[in-house]
Amino acid sequence: MSTETTTPATDPGAVLDDITAMLRELLDEQGLDDVEITREATFHGDLELESIDLVTLSAALREHYGDRVNFAEFVAELELDEIIGLTVGQLVDHVVDELRAA
Q: What is the pLDDT of residue 7?
A: 63
Q: What is the pLDDT of residue 53?
A: 93
Q: Is the dihedral of CA 57, 42, 15, 98 positive or negative?
A: negative
pLDDT tens digits, 7-50: 667 899 999 999 999 999 999 988 888 889 999 999 999 999 99
pLDDT tens digits, 39-91: 999 999 999 999 899 999 999 999 999 999 999 999 999 999 999 999 999 99
Number of neighbours of residue 49 by Cβ within 10 angstroms: 21
Q: 42 - beta bridge partners? A: 87
Q: Is the dihedral of CA 15, 41, 74, 30 positive or negative?
A: negative
Distance (Å, rounded) from C-alpha 48 to C-alpha 7? 32
At residue 34, φ and ψ (nearest 5 deg) are: -100, 5
Does position 3 have pLDDT exceeding 70, yes or no?
no
Q: What is the pLDDT of residue 1?
A: 41
